[in-house]
Amino acid sequence: MKYLLINPKTNNQNSENAVEDYKKSLEEGSFESVDVTAESFDYNSFFKGLKEEDEAILCGGDGTINYLINHVDEDAIKNDLYLFADGTGNDFLNDVKKEGDSNLIKINQYLKNLPTVEALDKDGNTTVMKFINGVGYGIDGYCCEEADKIKQVSDKPINYTAIAIKGLLFKFKKREAKVSIDGGEVKEYKNVWLTPTMKGRFYGGGMMVAPSQDRLSEDKSLSVVVYHAKSKLKALMVFPSIFKGEHVKKTKVVEILKAEKTTAVGFNMPTALQVDGETVLNVVSYKVHY
C-alpha cells in the first residue's frame, strides 16, 4: 500500500491540484491519503505501524520536509519514503534532482545525520531545529519575515527576490558579524548582508548560495557564506549572480568557509533567521552542530 502524507493546510495554492493529479496516475485502491495535520496523527506511530512492503509519499516542499525531520525519530523510518514535490520553493528538489528525474524522489538517504541549529533570541530564548537545506541569517531571514507578513493579508504568490532587492535598497540595515568555525578563531566582519550555513546548495526559492556544497559528503561538512559589502550598489550588483552560483567569484564581497562540526554566528543587533524557510524572529546568534 502507498500512503500519501498530505497537509491540506499548505500555503501553496497549487498543492491540492498537483496532489489530485498525482492520485489520478495511481491505480485505484493502491493508495490511501493521510492527513498529517489531524490531531490524532503522529509521525513516529505512523511509520512504526507500516508493513514491510508499504511505501510512504510525503506531499509538499521544503517546509513539509522540515516539519517531518523535526517530528520523527530517524530510526523510525524503515520503509521507502518518497517526496512528491509540490512546494513553492522546492530548494531540496533542485539540489538532489538529476536530469530526467520526475518530481517523485526517494529521500531516505537524505534524512540521515542532519545538522541542528540552536538560535538564541534577544530575550534569551533558544529555538532548536534540524534542517534539510540551510539556515539563513541576515537579509534572507528578513525576506521570510516580510513574506510572513504578506501571507497574513494576501493569498498571492510571494516574490522573495523583490523583497530582497527592496531590503537591499531601503529597509534592511547591514550588520556586524562574528563567525567561528569548529571552535576556532572568531572572525569579525563589517557591512554584512547575510551569513547562512548550508547543508545543501540552494535556498530562497532557487538561489544557489553554496554551489560547491555536497549534502552527502562523507565528512558531513557545511558551507558558511559571508556576504559583505559597504556599498548598497555593490551588494545589489552582485546579488543576481547568486541564482547561478557565480557570486563566489566576487571574493571581495563573498567568502565561503567550510565547517566540519560546528558554526557559531552572532550579529550586533537582533535579526530574523530562517530555517528551511521557517522564520525565527529577533535572533542575536545561532550555532549549528551535528
CA distances from 263 to 73, 128, 132, 160 (A): 24, 14, 16, 26
Residue 135: what pLDDT? 98
User: pTM for the complete prediction?
Assistant: 0.93
Q: Mean per-residue pLDDT for 92-112? A: 90
Hey, what's the cell of 46?
Answer: 505512523
* Across 121-125, 132-136, 146-150, least confident range: 146-150
pLDDT band for position 10 (50/70/90)?
Answer: low
Q: What is the pLDDT of residues 232-288, one digit of tens each?
A: 999 999 999 999 999 999 999 999 999 999 999 999 999 999 999 999 999 999 999
Q: Mean per-residue pLDDT for 121-150? A: 96
Residue 159: what pLDDT? 87
Q: What is the pLDDT of residues 153-190, one digit of tens each?
A: 988 888 888 999 999 999 999 999 999 999 999 999 99
Kindly report each contact of residues 210-213 with a partner whose C-beta sits within 8 Å and lies 24 or more positions away, as own/partner: 210/134, 210/256, 211/245, 211/248, 212/248, 212/256
Mean pLDDT of the chain: 93
What is the three-class DSSP state of 132? coil
- H/E stretch holding 152 reads helix 139-153
- DSSP letters for 265-281: EEEEEEEEEEETTEEEE
pLDDT band for position 7 (50/70/90)?
Answer: confident
Nearest to 84 by CA among 20, 156, 11, 157: 20
Hey, what's the cell of 117?
Answer: 541549529
Residue 15: what pLDDT? 56
Query: Is 145 a residue whose pLDDT tops 80?
Result: yes
Query: Is 13 a residue whose pLDDT tops 60?
Result: no
Residue 27: what pLDDT? 86
Q: Mean per-residue pLDDT for 111-135? A: 97
Residue 57: what pLDDT? 96
Hey, what's the cell of 44?
Answer: 513516529
Nearest to 114 by CA among 129, 94, 131: 131
Based on its alpha-carbon atoms, the radius of gyration of the chain, rounded to whole angstroms, reads 19
Burial 254-273, CB ≥16 within 10 A → b, else e: bbbbebeebbbbbbeeebbb
Helices in 190-238 by DSSP H: which ranges?
232-238
Hey, what's the cell of 92?
Answer: 531540496
- Of 87 and 120, more confident: 120
